Amino acid sequence: MPAHPTPPAIPGSRAEYEACYAEDPDKWYQYLSDAYAWMKEQESNQVAADRKLVELQVQVETQQEEILNLQNTLQATTYSEIVGAAPPPTTRSTASAYLSERLPDPEKFEATRADLRRFRDAITEKLTVNEDRYPTAVSRMAYVNSRLNKESYKLIQPYIFKGACRLPDYQDILDILQGAYGDPNEARTARRKLDVIKQRDRDFSTFYAEFQSLSLDSGLEGDALAPFLEKAVSKELSEMLLNNPPADYSYNTLVSHFKELDIRLQEYREKSRPYIPKRSNPIPRVGPTRTRAERQERKSPSPRSGRSPPENPQLAGDPMDLSNQRRYIRPNYRRENNQCFRCGSSSHYLRDCPEPDTRPAKFRHAAIPQSPYRYSRHSSPRSPASDRSDSRNSRRHQENGASLS
């Protein structure tokens, strides 16, 4: 069998292929059978090659450690020959001392668009700094796969065969994650966020870090970012910019100028902040310890049945404080004791009270209406005979509505 099967003819279109297949279908059937068998053979060869590659990479790592051990032994032997002392024992930690400082492992990828950039930058930094700790592509891809959660690992699982990832390197894994979780319109999204971002009550340095991150994603550079920055700063900085304009309105000049204005604003706020002295924690007062019997004796007696005014015990304090002598007076106390509603006297009622009425004029006759048919308590009603005599006397002196007297 040749290196790969060749077709009986190379048609340029589907119509030519159908014509060639109609002329000699047996040759085309043989070609398709040979191509399928060749593909199966190549797949098995690829699996064997991947397995051999993993074995060779493990051997390379082992030999690198042996080389480091031999170098350490050689250095120790040379040192002992010069100084004449016994060489120090060579351990595995001594051999690994030449490796780079191990960076902490980044957090696992959360399979979200917001977490993609953080994970991509952290993985790239980790494998760039610790390149000597992950010398092979298989070890790098295995490390990246170990930092994926269940959802994101499902995207890489089809490329793993017999425990080894068949992609070229870890950058291909990051590209797959970018295609699945990345924003296809990252620049437009960043520009839209630049248009609505606000500083609010944050300091300028914290706000500018977020602004700069969005500007990198938007693709805008230089003075094109100046209008967005002027629009996004706080109201205080905008007002300070009116009285303290910069030398020019270029982007870099505006950033430096806003930083200086923000420093002055923070200093002013610190000076104008009122001083609040700290109070020392008072020592809690601990009362005397009493037994259960003493506590029961000190209990107050049961309340009396019925309604009664609340008791106002005399509190110890300033003897000139007259507020302790005040008593609670019920609203219906004077009515129940037949006292004057105005002065509280028991010798007369409200209508006979000599004290002046201090109420407004519109409320003076609201409680006790004055009626011509209302008789005084002290006066007796008139008899009917006196009423008839009065009417006769009035008729004598009046006739037809005119007075005759």
Three-class SS string for 318-358? CCCCHHHHCCCCCCCHHHHCCCCCCCCCCCCCHHHCCCCCC
Q: What pLDDT does 9 receive?
A: 83
DSSP bridge pairs for 161: 164
User: Among 56-60, 115-119, 283-287, which stretch is predicted with the lowest mean pLDDT?
Assistant: 283-287
Is the domain of 80 the same as that of 121? no
Give the relative orientation of helices 170-181 and 113-129 as an angle to the nearest 10 degrees. 170
Three-class SS state of 399: strand
Three-class SS state of 211: helix
Q: Is residue 70 part of a domain?
A: yes
User: Among 143-147, 290-294, 344-348, 367-371, which stretch is predicted with the lowest mean pLDDT?
Assistant: 367-371
DSSP bridge pairs for 403: 398
DSSP structural state of residue 186: H
Neighbours of 303 (CB within 10 A): 8
Please compute the mean of the pLDDT values over residues 330-343 and round it to a whole number.
80
CA–CA distances in Å: residue 16 to residues 22, 23, 29 = 10, 11, 17
Residue 265's nearest CA partner among 293, 249, 243 is: 243
Residue 403 confidence class, pLDDT cut points 50, 70, 90: very low
Is the domain of 42 the same as that of 28? yes
Q: Is residue 205 part of a domain?
A: yes
The C-alpha atoms of residue 62 and residue 56 are separated, in whole angstroms, by 10
The helix or strand, by DSSP H or E, that contains position 164, with its residue range, turns out to be: strand 164-165
Is the domain of 146 the same as that of 210? no
Residue 166's nearest CA partner among 138, 147, 146 is: 138
% the chain with pLDDT above 70: 71
Q: Is residue 219 part of a domain?
A: yes
Three-class SS state of 213: helix
Is the domain of 155 the same as that of 224? no
pLDDT digits 0-9 by tens, 356-388: 888 777 666 655 555 454 444 444 455 555 555
Please compute the mean of the pLDDT values over residues 290-302 and round it to a whole number.
60
Instruction: Kindly tell me the burial class for residue 144, based on how many C-beta atoms sit within 10 Å of its own C-beta (0-12, 13-18, 19 or more).
Output: buried
Q: Is residue 265 part of a domain?
A: yes
- Please check the confidence at residue 294 and state whether its pLDDT lies above 80: no
Q: What pLDDT does 317 receive?
A: 53
Is the domain of 176 the same as that of 217? no
Task: Look at residues 32, 52, 84 and tell me which one is the last residue of a structural domain.
Answer: 84
Q: What pLDDT does 376 receive?
A: 46
Higher pLDDT, 171 or 368: 171
- Please check the confidence at residue 18 and state whether its pLDDT lies above 90: no
Q: What pLDDT does 119 receive?
A: 94
Backbone phi and psi for residue 105, each to the nearest 5 degrees, phi listed first: -70, 135
Number of domains in the chain: 3
* Tokens describing residue 14: 């589907």
Q: Is residue 112 part of a domain?
A: yes
- Please check the confidence at residue 19 and state whether its pLDDT lies above 70: yes
Is the domain of 191 the same as that of 265? yes
Q: Is residue 68 part of a domain?
A: yes
Residue 206: domain span: 186-271
Task: Look at residues 154, 181, 208 and tell me which one is the last residue of a structural domain.
Answer: 181
Average pLDDT over the chain, rounded to an integer: 77
The tally of CA atoms less than 13 A away on the side-chain side of residue 50 is 18
Backbone phi and psi for residue 225, each to the nearest 5 degrees, phi listed first: -90, -10
DSSP bridge pairs for 197: none
The C-alpha atoms of residue 112 and residue 91 are separated, in whole angstroms, by 44
Q: What pLDDT does 402 receive?
A: 45
pLDDT digits 0-9 by tens, 64-73: 878 888 888 8
pTM over 0.85? The answer is: no
Q: Is residue 6 part of a domain?
A: no
Residue 298 confidence class, pLDDT cut points 50, 70, 90: low
Instruction: With beta carbons less than 8 A apart as the criterion, state whether 111 and 155 touch.
Output: no
- Please check the confidence at residue 125 and state whether its pLDDT lies above 90: yes
- Please check the confidence at residue 166 and state whether its pLDDT lies above 80: yes
- Please check the confidence at residue 1 and state whether its pLDDT lies above 50: no
* Tokens describing residue 347: 């010798």
Task: Look at residues 271, 287, 315 and tell me which one is the last residue of a structural domain.
Answer: 271
The C-alpha atoms of residue 365 and residue 363 are separated, in whole angstroms, by 6
The C-alpha atoms of residue 111 and residue 113 are separated, in whole angstroms, by 7
Is the domain of 118 the same as that of 80? no
Strands (E) in 219-290, as ranges, are none
Residue 122 confidence class, pLDDT cut points 50, 70, 90: very high
- Please check the confidence at residue 255 and state whether its pLDDT lies above 80: yes
Q: Is residue 242 part of a domain?
A: yes
- Please check the confidence at residue 217 and state whether its pLDDT lies above 60: yes
Q: Which amino acid is at 30?
A: Q
